[in-house]
Amino acid sequence: MMNSVDQYQGEKISAIILAAGISERFGQPKAFLRFPEGETFLEKLIQVYVDAQVKTIVLIINKSIANEVGAILETKKSENSISVKINNNPLAGRYSSIQLGADSVGKDDSAFIQNIDNPFTMPELIESMKTMLKPGKYVVPVCNGEKGHPVLLSSEILEHIRRVSAPDTNLRGILKAYGAVELEIEDTRIHANLNTEKEYRKYFAHEISN
């Protein structure tokens, strides 16, 4: 007979990609920033989760980029379920997008929370995190003693997020009530947070595309 952990790891795991911010500090949508090879951050992250066998991917965006995102998805012919949800109030903050994402996946799903400005996630990392998931906990990569991105939330945490919508709520505060399963890795890029042109150029030497 399977134990509870085995059963839990067999549940469906989704990905919620957060790209609803208005990018005031950057001056252009971060979803469309490019890697040197030409792929946008959004295209790259979608492909990472497809390659890692994550079957349900939810993109949380603001309405100003809906047409461009739609055009990108037209080029993504995949058996995966890739859907778009528009956060009509992006100024409400990141948590509002996380909550919209939680409402958009299955009630028994666990889910990765992936920021668009943490674009260096790799399929190997996703696969490793999936194997470590436990009931009522979250999985987080750690490098040099510091937690990074993305995080993988159990279905219990997602249900908590669905229920709690106070204006000052944030994911970090919610996670304090749950145990972390830490995955030690040697890639400092899990700490990247490309909010400004200066931070972008720290990792990319090429010109920013307009």
Instruction: Quick: pLDDT tens for 81-103.
Output: 999 999 999 888 899 999 999 99
pLDDT at 9 over 90: no
Kindly report the pTM of this predicted structure. 0.90
Read off the pLDDT of each residue in 40-55 and give the average, rounded to a whole number: 95
Q: Which domain holds residue 75?
A: 4-203
pLDDT at 112 over 60: yes
CA gap 22, 34 in Å, rounded = 17
Give the count of domains, the chain. 1
Residue 206's pLDDT is what?
Answer: 56
Task: Look at residue 19 and tell me if it is in a domain.
Answer: yes
Q: 28: left (phi > 0), else alpha (psi -120 to 50), else beta?
A: beta
pLDDT tens by residue, 153-190:
999 999 999 999 877 889 999 999 999 999 999 999 99
Task: Look at residue 209 and tell me if it is in a domain.
Answer: no
CA gap 12, 21 in Å, rounded = 27
Q: What is the CATH number of the domain that holds 153?
A: 3.90.550.10
Read off the pLDDT of each residue in 142-157 and give the average, rounded to a whole number: 97
